[in-house]
Amino acid sequence: MRHIDHLVVHCAATPEGKPFTVKDIDRWHRERGFRCIGYHYVIYLDGSIHPGRPVEEIGAHVKGHNRSSIGICYIGGVAADGRTAKDTRTPAQKEALETFLRSLKRKYPGAAILGHRDFPKVRKACPSFNAKKEYAHIK
């Protein structure tokens, strides 16, 4: 198993309330030249958690930090206009994400929980909320 230093929260940058799937993200990432979906997990609007790229494999979600991280993406992150960053997590997504991060933190106790935007040289709003601050209490 890989050594994991970071649990990275992402948004799919999809419009608020519109359902998308792992299959959709896999297609988008392949169109960008990725081998397959770059995230390890995707959280749907209903809070269900779906596997993406196997955790044993290096992801493709934070340039320069994929070797030792796990990428978790929630569907949404953009207002209905399709452009404006917005925390669009449903109550079910919020609950699922926190519960899942707690579970991952038990498995990888040394891993820091960060949002994509918390990494150096990242000029994105992703995940459209302050994940580092929101999940600081998870030890």
Render the chain in DSSP notation, one character per residue: -----EEEEEE--EETT----HHHHHHHHHHTT-SS-S-SEEE-TTS-EEE-S-TTS--SSSTT--TTEEEEEES-EE-TTSSSB-----HHHHHHHHHHHHHHHHHSTTPEEEEGGGSTT----TTSS-HHHHTTT--
| Active site (annotated) includes residue 126 | yes
| Active site (annotated) includes residue 40 | no
| Active site (annotated) includes residue 6 | no
Instruction: Given the residues 61, 73, 74, 126, select the one marked as catalytic.
Output: 126
Instruction: Given the residues 10, 40, 61, 86, select the one marked as catalytic.
Output: 10
| Active site (annotated) includes residue 10 | yes
| Active site (annotated) includes residue 3 | no
Instruction: Given the residues 11, 39, 40, 74, select the one marked as catalytic.
Output: 39
Catalytic site positions: 10, 39, 116, 124, 126
